[in-house]
Structure formats: C-alpha cells, structure tokens
Amino acid sequence: MDIRYNERSRTFTITAGDSSYVIGIADKEGFIGHVYYGAAIAEEPMYLLRIDEPPFVPTKNNRDRGSFMDTFPCEFPGNGLGDYRDGAVEVIDAGGHRAIKLTYEGHNIIDGKPALAGLPATFETDGARAKTLEIYAKDEALNVKAVLRYSVFEDSDAIIRSTELINESATPVLITKIMSASLDMDSEDFEFLSLHGSWARERQIDIRPIGYGKTSVGSVKGESSHQEHPFMALIEKGSTQEKGRVYGFSFVYSGNFLAQAEKTQFDSVRVMMGINPQGFKWELKPGDSFQSPEVVMVYSDCGLGKMSRTYHDLYRGHLIRSPYKDKERPILINNWEATYFDFNTEKLLDIAREAKKSGIEMLVMDDGWFGRRNDDNSSLGDWNVNEEKLPGGLKYLVDEVNKIGLKFGIWMEPEMISPDSDLYRAHPDWAIQIPGREGVRSRNQYVLDLTRKEVLEHTWNSIKTVLSSANIEYLKWDMNRQITDIGSAELGRDNQGELSHRYMLAVYKLQERLVKEFPNLLLENCSGGGARFDAGMLYYSPQIWCSDDTDAIERLGIQEGTAIVYPLSSMGAHVSDCPNHTVGRVTPFETRGNVALAGTFGYELDITKIPQEDRDMIPFQTATYHKYNKLVRSGDYYRVASFRENHYYDCFGVVSKDKSEALFTFVQVMGRPNYHSRVIRIPGLLPDVKYVVEGVSEEPEEWLGSTLEKAGLRIGNLWGDYKSLLIHISKADD
C-alpha cells in the first residue's frame, strides 16, 4: 500500500497490493488525466496522456481545444466544453447554463480513511491501516470545487473512490449528474460483464462485447433491483477464472445507479459508475456539499477468481460491521413457505419443537403476524400483533419458543404502507405520491415517504417497539416493491429530483439506528428476495436474502453470480420443500442441503410435514454446517465449473487461508447415458503437500496438491439428475 506524488512529473501513483493506479496533471491549466491502471509498475508513464502529440494541449494549440477535450483521457470529466463523451459531473448554474470543467487546484495525502456522512463506506481496522489521496479540483467560473478521493488498505488490492462536490459560490447550483468514479483507458477489445435478472432469478452472469457507443446497466427503481446490479467488470477476451486481465467496479449503494462503458471514435473506453442521473437533480446551496457513494475498483491479472477473492476479503474485513461477521449464524427455520399467512401460535410451536430435535437453532416468524394480515392486501404499517393468530401476544410466543430451546426472529417490512391500514387512513399523505394521480400499487402497497421526519420517527418507533417487546434476536427487513410516483409533500417543485437519494439516505439512517440500538441483533436484509443484495446493505447487515427462488438448481446460477462479488457468508440460502414452490422441481434433499451450505444455511419448510426420510437427514446437515461453517465463512472461494456454461454439472468450493483444508461441492445437474467419469481440477492447495480427500469414493484417497490441481479428481457418473457430492480435503498427517 502506498500513495506518492512526483512533483517533477506531476503524477500520483497509488499502489494497492499487486496493482498500480496513476493520475497525471497536464498543462498549466491543470487538466487531471488518467494515466494507467493495471499490474504494479515502478514508474509514471506520463506519455500515455499523449499531450505531446496532436491535437496537443491548449497552451500549445488553443485553436483545437475542442479536439483536445474530446480525446484527453480525463480522470473526472465535466461537460459542455468540448468533451462530447458522457461527463462524470453535470450542473446547471444560476444562469441556466450546463457546463463545468474541473482542473487541479491541490491535493492532500492522509493516513486513514475518512467516513462518509450518512452513507455506507469501507473502513480501516487496527489490523489493516488505510491511506487516502484527496485531489482538489475547481471550476473557477462557477466557483464549485470537487474532492476526488482514493483510498487503499494495506491488506487489499482494491482502490476505493468517491467524489464530493462543494459550492463555494454565492448562488445555488443544481447538480444533475455526479458519478463516484470515472476513468479513460485505451480499448483493448474488452468484454462487459454484468449481473442481470428478474424476481427469483437474480444476478445471472452476462458477458457481451463492448461495441462503439455506450454499454451500460442501471436502475431507476429506487433500489439496486432484481433486474440489474451495481457491479460491472471489463474483462480481457478469453479470460477465465484464473487467467486474464479483469477490472471490477462495485458500487456501495442500494438505490438508483448507473454503470457504463463508452467506447469512442478514438478506440478509448470511458468507464463510470455512480447515482443514476435519470430523474436526479440536487440543489447545492452556497456553502453546501454533496457526497457521492463509494465505488470499489479491483484489478486482477489472474482472472475472475482473484477479483472475486479480493472483493470477498475486502467486504468481510472492511465493510461488514456486525458482531456476527466472524462467527456462526444460528441455523434458522422460516415459516413462510411452510405456512404462508395461515398459522397460529400452536402451529409455530409445533414447528419449533420438531426443529429443536433436528439441531435447528432459531424459529423465524415471517409475514402475517400483525394487523389483519391474512393475505398481502392489508395492514402494512400497523405493526401491532394480531392476537387472533397469536393469543397472548408476541412475548408469550417468544417465551414459549425460548423454553423449547430455540432463538426467535421476526419479519417486518418497515418501509411500506397498505392502503387498507389504520396508518394510511390516518395519514394518506405519508405515502410517496404525485398529487392528482392515482398511485401505482405493487403487491397492493405503497412506499412510505421516509424523507419526512415525522414518518421516519414513526417508522423507527414501530420497529423499536416490536423488537423491545420480546427476546427477538433476528430481524428480516423486507422491501417487496419498487418505487414509483416520485413525489414528496415536503419537497418543492425544484427539489423533487432529490427524493430518490434522500429516501436511500433515510433507509440508511434507520438501519444505522437499528444496529446501534440493538447491537446484538442479527439483521438480514431482503427486498422481494434479492433486489437489494448490494454492498451498501452489507454495511448494516452481515447477510442478505439471496433470492426468493430456493430451488437448488436455480440457486446454482444465482449463487454463482452473487459470489462473483460477495462472500458466501453474506448469502441467505435455505433448504426448502419439494416440489419447489417457485419452479416445481423435485431435487434430492441431500443436494438441497449441499447447495445451501454455500451460504448462511437454514430451512424454509414445514418440518412437521416433510417425508420422514428427509427429516432424518436434517441432523446430519446441521452437524455438517457446524463442522464446515468456519471454512465456508472465511475461506478463499474458487469456481471450478459452471452449469451455466457446460449445461451438465457445477463445482465450486472454498480453501482455508492456510491451505490446510478445503470443501468443494459437485452437482451433477444432468445425467448422461453411457458416459465415462469426469475429472475436476482442484485449485488453491499447496503443491507439495499431501492431502486426504473424502467424499469421492468409499475410502479416503491421498494426493499431492499439485496432482489435484493439474491431474484433478475423478468423479464417477452419479446416476441421475440433481445428484451431488460434498468433497472434503485436508492435510494428511505427517
């Protein structure tokens, strides 16, 4: 880790692990240029800015200033002054003009990493310090200043960027676009990797060429969304898990976003990421500042696998704060797919009693416990217990569950309000809405305007009252619809464009209060499944519900895409009943368990009704979780094979940091007739160490790490679809 400034060449070199990032100041005007990002180098190749060739810098050739602006590899480009590529920042000044040019004013290199007020952000720890570069840039005509921040940690290859805009003028400025990170590179036939999807099939890996023009993903749904994801990677064509150059960009934010690569006429690529400018407008008053969320950039010259492992380590060590991040999560059973809305105290206690026998440690009561909530058409906002279902109230139920020997968790959807609710009848204006228009309902509910102080306080008091009423040790925080009708009764005509970001800041404020007031609570975020599975949410909750699709085969692709950025310990994964409630598939109970072990692990079924054969397997599965969870939670992730690519089988695993132990999961999705055995190569082990392999054959085998990596393990035909193996590898006794 290092950040240095070369005064002679006017360059900044940021060293993060095995990568270097170089910024150069060009010409007397102080143009801030992107010089280099890639494998670590010891010099500053300023020639990559090409300022000594046509069209030259404006001080040498002002007649072609426009050509210079449109070709210069800018580090944080403005707009309206000759650069026709998309700008990273756009404003409207007091005269209604839309132009901004930020040039170098100064810099500061500091130890540590500043927090971002009101936003989730990575942080340094006592065991891994940080260093930060702040570059100060200014538009002299507007008297608007930008602070470009770059932070690195001594234990990571990642570079963390954000932008702050400050109005030092005497008149307001309207921000219509502000990216958190931008950089220009030569195009090298990169491909664009993104994670697309929909409800119940989130984060599917998509790879496509970057053609001329703009290639982008984004969300304007008020959340990071099921459909797109705040992550992108530029990958060298032909890259694999272990080979090729990869540039990853992950956004630490849970609302509207834009991730874009723009290939230009001169075969350069401009990459940018930040808050989606569609519908965004922010009034920056004199003396005020606006802070953008963070972008985490990771460079790997050893393929996608190294990039993923860098993100996993960074997010486990420098983003997740929960006391649960480094310890086992309780094995829970959730009653949603078991009962839906049809339950009462005795039904839940029956599930709890049977769960206790099998080694399950927590009962989670999902939707339907409050108001008159017998379906999804009413009562959101009325967070009072329905005593027709739960006679004696919440405390009685929780106490009885605790007596059985289980912890207790609960589901809430604090951000929502039903039209059929006491809260809506009392405060119809509390919903986000546009006056004069019929509100768009989704799942027959509206979204509360948390940007209003009285609404936020009421929501917080509702959460606090529920959690304080009994021994509740887990909260599943859900958000089951996206945001429409963007309008707030408290924002004026010129400030409605602030609502989406202000809403996200309000959600963060609520969750910050929650983790401070209830520090030992296990919080799991959720949004109709996986619509808010993003780095911003990980700052508040150590785990996020990965998807409402719990089918083991569907989960192979969902969890593969999720694990490309996020650690396995963050992925909410459960064993559910069959036929699966989403796709109707029937898979072996063993395979459902093996796939769920690559996550937080739990159950989503009625344990009192499943076949005895399946029930008998649960004690083995819960014991297996306890045996291997530390390895799964903290190990290095490796993707060996992808059913998405080969259409027959899937294989992934984790290797302990000291390389003494590994656990790999093999799933034969499709059986094939008259087919010989398959070989899988096991990466990540010490080449000259002998390992014991269990789970492949009847008797343990012993092989060198180099043999396992180069020659591989032989997997026989498992005879059938959806069959799986759990392969444990450990150092042989000396």
Q: Which residues are catalytic?
A: 478, 548
The C-alpha atoms of residue 734 and residue 730 are separated, in whole angstroms, by 12
The C-alpha atoms of residue 352 and residue 362 are separated, in whole angstroms, by 8
The C-alpha atoms of residue 100 and residue 102 are separated, in whole angstroms, by 7
The helix (run of H) or strand (run of E) holding residue 702 is: strand 701-704
| Neighbour order of strands in the sheet with 522-525 | 571-572, 543-545, 522-525, 474-477, 407-412, 362-365, 332-334, 602-604, 575-576
- Chain centroid offset of residue 355 CA: 31
CB contact set of 107 (below 8 Å; sequence gap of 6+): 5, 12, 133, 134, 135, 136
DSSP string, 649-676: EEEEEEE-TTSSEEEEEEEE-S--TT--
SS3 label, residue 525: strand
Check if the beta carbon of residue 18 is closer than 8 Å to that of residue 246. Answer: no
The C-alpha atoms of residue 287 and residue 41 are separated, in whole angstroms, by 40
Residue 271 corresponds to which amino acid? V
SS3 label, residue 729: strand
**Strand residue runs (E) in 366-455:** 407-412, 416-417, 446-447
The C-alpha atoms of residue 197 and residue 527 are separated, in whole angstroms, by 14
Neighbours of 357 (CB within 10 A): 13
The C-alpha atoms of residue 608 and residue 518 are separated, in whole angstroms, by 32
Main-chain dihedrals φ then ψ at residue 280, nearest 5 degrees? -95, 130
Q: Contacts by 17-26 with C-beta closer than 8 Å and gap 24+?
A: 17/156, 17/157, 17/158, 17/310, 18/157, 18/299, 18/301, 19/157, 19/159, 19/299, 21/150, 21/159, 21/297, 23/75, 23/135, 24/49, 25/104, 26/51, 26/57, 26/72
How far CA 685 is from CA of 587, 694, 703, in Å, comes to 31, 15, 11
Question: What is the length of the chain?
Answer: 734
Residue 531 corresponds to which amino acid? A
Q: Which residues of 637-650 are buried (b: 16+ CB within 10 A; e: fewer)?
A: bbbbbbbeeeeebb
Check if the beta carbon of residue 57 is closer than 8 Å to that of residue 208. Answer: no
Residue 329 carries which DSSP code? Answer: P
Neighbours of 108 (CB within 10 A): 11
The C-alpha atoms of residue 413 and residue 390 are separated, in whole angstroms, by 19
Check if the beta carbon of residue 161 is closer than 8 Å to that of residue 122. Answer: no
Q: Tell me which residue has tokens 């228009």.
A: 437
Neighbours of 91 (CB within 10 A): 25
